[in-house]
Amino acid sequence: MKATLPSMDGLRKAREDVALQRVYGGTVQPCIFRDAQPLSWDHYGIVTTILGWRVIGRYHRQHPYEPPRFWTIPEVLTHHLIHDGNGGKYLCLWHRTEWNKDWTMATALGVVHRFLGQVYHGEID
- Beta-carbon contacts of 112 under 8 Å, excluding residues fewer than 6 positions away, are 50, 55, 57, 70, 91, 93
The pLDDT tens digits for 3-13 are 544 444 788 99
Residues 48-75, mean pLDDT to the nearest whole number: 95
Structural domain boundaries in the chain: 7-120
Stretch among 31-35, 83-87, 119-123 having the lowest mean pLDDT: 83-87
The pTM of this model reads: 0.88
The pLDDT tens digits for 69-106 are 999 999 999 989 999 888 889 999 988 789 999 999 99
What is the fold, at CATH topology level, of the domain defined by 7-120? Ubiquitin Conjugating Enzyme (3.10.110)
